[in-house]
Amino acid sequence: MADAFLIVSIVVALLILGIVGFYVLVKYQHPEDANEAWFPKVVVWSGFVVAGATVLLLPLDVANNEGYPGETLAEWVALLFFAGVEALGIRLEQNNVDWYFGGRLDSLCPGLLASTFPWLRVPFTNELHSSSLSPARHHFQDVTATIHEYAAASTWILSGPSSSGSFPSSCSS
Amino acid sequence: MDLIWSIFFWLIPVFMFILIPFSTFYYEADDGLLMAGTSVGANAKKKSRLWDAFKWEFATLVIVSLAFFLTYYFLSFADIPVQEYSPTVATLFVYETFPAFNASDTSQLLPFESSQLSAMGVYDRQVVASNWENPEPSSVRVQLTLATFFAGLMAFLGWFVFALFGGVGIAAMPLDLIMNFVNRPRHMDALEFAEAKQSIRDRVNELVQIGELMKIEREQKGRTGAGSSGGFCGKKNAAMSRKEMKEEKRTLREFKKAVYMLDNDVDDFKNCTSNYNKFNPLIPIGSLLLGICAFVISIFWILHIIVFVLPPSNPIAPFLNNYFQWFDQWFPLFGVLSVAIFAFYLLLAAVKGCFKFGLRFLFFTIHPMEINKTYMSSFLFNTALVVLCSLPVVQFCSASFADYARYATVRQIFGTQIHYLAFFNWFWKTNFFIYALLAVALLTALYLGCKPRDTSSDGLSLRDRLKSRRA
């Protein structure tokens, strides 16, 4: 695990850079440009942040290694990145499968990706409380049910049968 | 950390050669004159503008990528110096120490103590002699990755800009901030008021006349030239020779500078008179405080360069490195913060220096950053400057704070790989750019010490010159 302090510093530094860049952009711009030229504005703002971040990477580099062995920030970033990709992939796949098997092919959506996005917003409520269950959804619910049962079992083990009520039926068998 | 550095090494050329030029081309914002037309936002023209921008961008990309990949093909290796040793393992190692035994039980060895060591004997000398050190320094050739090489190349390009403008800025920044305090608005009496008003009125009239003259000249040339669009971004006028074009551009720059100076003076005049009660008196004091801070940072930078960076064999003292390390022990953020301040100061100095240089010498159009007066083109220009200067700043800081950053990845990248890069290594090893930076800073300090006030060229002479050309 990378140093939490470093991660907080990075987030704070990026926030400050972003806010300062935005402030300078708004404060210095000519009124004629006020609601024009959005693309250059984004370029200017992001260019400022990139230049600032490049310079600030030096102290980060120093603070990150310090000559100590152990997991560095880059590994942590890579881990975060792949974990994020994996999570997103699973979610997207889940929804795609869901969508295909859910019998909604006739509801003419403009694009596959676009049609999967609405599902992204309500994955859990939808998956657990939907009445018309597709095969894929059945499968998913089985998995979630098992997880729930494990959770219940662990609380039962930790706190004893009297406090958490009856022992889950599926685990007792 | 390598990954993170590589990401930024890629981002900088992307900004420098793709995003910023594209938006500049798209808005045709070579100078502020044309912005007025674009912000009207004629939709019919937009499509062709986009196409135009793509064409220009494509041309830029072709040239840049050609240059980049050719240099990468021929120059992307580094000869890193090494000292060669060849140990001989075949020799029997005999350590000449005398084991100490327990006095009562001689079969029991006592733990080793340094007093048991004897002087170097014959066998020791044999072992040492069999280890051969090559007296000639040799080198290992290392192939650089694309990202690292581009970082080196961008740093090299950026140094030309940074050595000049950074040097000017380091000297000009504190001086200008302090001059802001010295020339702060004061209440005027009636006579002064009248004189100032008259002088401003005269200057306004002069500049209006000059503007009219330039307009007439341009129209005449537009009429004589065959179907030229007349603007500076338009097609080159066939009737206009290269020298005339240059002369006209120079006149325009001079005119813009004079207008800028007048604009500032009018603001100052207003702050002395009609806005006097509204003017915040804390601004000059804040400017003085910032000026003192900037002065301290500039002096420290110059001392640090002299004491740590430039001495050829060994630094005289670690100077700022010690200070950062001491601060880091105290509370980690403060060391990082002070490095950030020193590094950021260089970027700001580059922007300041560019503007100051443009104001004093008329080589290029000035792009001042003024509250509520900055066009997108000026923003883009200054952003490009900052992005271009960021890598030289990182390289310079990593060399300056080598002691502080000794375990950092950046030392390995800039201090080793890029430092010994083919062809470019001469510039780094001889500290060419750092000497240039220092020289420019000292010259600027001398020059500004003698002539602290920016003056626009005399409006009258400009007008007379224009008139003589018409005749």
* Number of domains, chain A: 2
Nearest CA of chain B to the CA of A90: how many Å?
Answer: 26
Domain of residue B122 covers 85-133
Q: What value does the mean pLDDT take over residues A112-134?
A: 45
φ, ψ of residue B79 to 5 degrees: the values are -100, 100
**CA-based nearest residue to B131, from B93, B76, B179:** B93
Please give the single-letter amino acid code of residue B211. G
> Chain B: nearest CA to A169, how far in angstroms?
50
> Cβ contact (<8 Å) for B410 and A61?
yes
Nearest neighbour of B339 by CB, restricted to A27, A59, A64: A59
pLDDT averages per 10-residue partition of chain B, 471 residues: 86 88 72 44 53 83 90 88 72 62 78 74 73 79 88 92 92 88 78 82 84 81 55 47 75 79 79 72 87 94 90 82 81 77 90 81 69 78 89 91 83 87 88 92 88 64 64 51
Q: What is the pLDDT of residue A123?
A: 42
Within 10 angstroms of residue B53's Cβ, the number of other Cβ atoms is 18
More confident residue, A14 or B276: A14
Q: Are A163 and A92 members of one domain?
A: yes
* Rounded Cα distance, B324 and A58, in Å: 13
State how far the Cα of B81 lies from the Cα of A91, in Å rounded to an integer. 52
> Are the beta carbons of B372 and A29 separated by less than 8 Å?
yes
**Residue B369 with chain A: CB contacts under 8 Å:** 28
What pLDDT score was predicted for residue A161?
A: 47
> Which residue in this structure is represented by tokens 């859910």?
A102
pLDDT greater at residue A79 or residue B132: B132
CB of A60 less than 8 A from some CB of B: yes
User: Is A55 an interface residue toward B (CB < 8 Å)?
Assistant: yes
Q: Do B347 and B396 contact (CB within 8 A), yes or no?
A: no
Cβ contact, residue pair B8, A5, below 8 Å: no
Work out how many CB contacts closer than 8 A connect A with B. 160
Domain stop point among A16, A35, A70: A70
In this structure, are A113 and A139 located in the same domain?
yes
Asked if A27 has any chain B CB less than 8 Å from its own CB, the reply is yes
Question: Is A46 part of a structural domain of the chain?
Answer: yes
Last residue of a domain, one of B133, B163, B193: B133
Task: Please tell me whether residues A144 and A101 are part of one structural domain.
Answer: yes
Domain contains A78 = no
> Residue B253: inside a domain, yes or no?
no
Q: Kindly report the nearest CA distance between residue A23 and chain B, in angstroms.
A: 11
Tell me which H or E stretch contains B468: helix B459-470
| Residue range(s) defining the domain that contains residue A49 | 4-70
Residues B453 and B425 in one domain: yes
Are A90 and A157 in the same domain? yes
Of A30, A54, A77, the CB nearest to B391: A54
Which of A36, A53, A60 is closest, CB to CB, to B39? A36
**B334 and B400 belong to one structural domain:** yes
Q: Which residue of A has its CA nearest to B23?
A: A40
One domain for residues B117 and B174: no
Q: Does residue B346 fall inside a structural domain? A: yes
For B398, counting Cβ atoms within 10 Å of its Cβ (0-12 exposed, 13-18 middle, 19+ buried), the class is buried
Average pLDDT over residues A114-141: 45
Alpha-carbon distance of B379 to B30, in angstroms, equals: 12
Whether residue B343 lies inside any domain: the answer is yes
Confidence of residue A6 (pLDDT cuts 50, 70, 90): confident
Instruction: Give residue B196's pLDDT.
Output: 82
Say yes or no: A95 and A63 in one domain.
no
The reply to whether residue A56 touches residue B15, judged by beta carbons under 8 angstroms, is no
Q: Tell me what pLDDT residue B466 has.
A: 65
CB contact under 8 A, A47 and B384: yes
Q: Which of A44, A58, A78 sits opposite B410 (nearest CB)?
A: A58
Cβ of residue B101 closer than 8 Å to a chain A Cβ: no
Distance from CA of A65 to the nearest CA of B (A): 6
- The domain total for chain B is 2
Clarify whether residues A104 and A165 are in a common domain.
yes
Residues B89 and B119 in one domain: yes
- B102-118 pLDDT, tens digit per residue, is 778 777 787 777 777 77
Burial class (CB in 10 A: 0-12, 13-18, 19+), A71: exposed
Percent of all residues in chain A with a pLDDT value above 90, rounded to a whole number: 2
More confident position, B18 or A128: B18
Answer yes or no: do B8 and A65 touch at CB < 8 A: no
Nearest-angstrom CA–CA distance, B110 and B352:
72
Mean residue pLDDT of chain A comes to 62
**Does the beta-carbon distance from B4 to A27 stay under 8 Å?**
no
Whether the Cβ atoms of residue B64 and residue B18 lie closer than 8 Å to each other: no
* pLDDT for residue A63 is more than 70: yes
- Please tell me which residue of chain A has the smallest CA distance to B324: A59
Amino acid letter, residue B227: G
Identify residue B451 by its one-letter amino acid code. Answer: K
Residues B170 and B293 in one domain: yes
Average pLDDT over residues A51-72: 72
Q: Both A111 and A44 in a single domain?
A: no
Residue B391 in domain: yes
**Those residues with Cβ within 8 angstroms of residue B401's Cβ, 6 or more apart along the chain or in another chain:** A58, A62, B320, B321, B324, B339
Q: Minimal Cα distance from A28: which residue of B? A: B371
pLDDT value at residue B117:
72
Q: What's residue A167's pLDDT? A: 44
CB of A106 within 8 Å of any CB in chain B?
A: no
pLDDT score, position B224: 67
| B161 contact A CB<8A | no
User: What residues contact B390, with CB distance under 8 A and at least 6 apart?
Assistant: A50, A51, A52, A54, A55, B12, B158, B347
Same domain, A63 and A15: yes
Residue B1 and residue A73: Cβ atoms within 8 Å?
yes
- Phi/psi of residue B81, nearest 5 degrees: -70, 140
Q: How far is A92 from chain B (nearest CA, A)?
A: 27
Reported ipTM: 0.72
Cα angle B244, B245, B250; round to 5: 95
B339 vs A contacts (CB less than 8 Å): 58-59, 62
pLDDT, residue B62, reads 92
Please list the residues that pair with A29 across neighbouring strands. Answer: B374
**Beta-carbon separation of B4 and A29 below 8 A:** no
pLDDT class for A85, splitting at 50, 70, 90?
A: low
**pLDDT for B439:** 93
Same domain for A156 and A103: yes
